[in-house]
Amino acid sequence: MIVSAKGRYALRVMIALAAREKSGPVPLKELAAEEEIPHKFLEQIMTELAKAGLVESARGKNGGYLLTRSPEECTAADILRVTETSLAAAECAKDGDCPRAGTCPTLPMWRALDEAVDDCLKKYSLAELTLQRV
């Protein structure tokens, strides 16, 4: 599994929103500049995050983006599930449709790895990641 730029950018912008949670909506232009993310690409990412219910947009003069949940309730797993096509270590293990599932000696290993990655990503909330922000 390799996390795409989209996934990394989504994590960064969500951490930035968590850090400013009590400041009100943050304009997209400001987020893009602070996080050094191309504006158009960030627009696409924010649209996906909004469709998934992780952020909401506020329109108007003081508009921008807000988290829809507290930073303690949103994990890295929640965010990466939105932006990544798959977090599976091996294609054959991700959907359970492997024709060799009954005889494959490596399938349990791939599934264990996927579970370990998922468990790790679930451990990191935005609140925790915000504390590690430099």
pLDDT digits (tens, 9 = 90+) for 31-62: 999 999 999 999 999 999 999 999 999 988 88
Domain extents for the chain? 5-86+125-131
pLDDT value of residue 32:
97
This prediction's pTM: 0.89
pLDDT for 95: 65
Residues of the chain above pLDDT 70, percent: 96
Q: Which residues of the chain have pLDDT under 50?
A: none
pLDDT at 100: 81
Q: How many helices (H) and strands (E) does the chain have?
A: 7, 2
- CATH number belonging to domain 5-86+125-131: 1.10.10.10
Q: How far apart are CA 23 and CA 10, in angstroms?
A: 20
- Pairing state between β 55-58 and 64-67: antiparallel
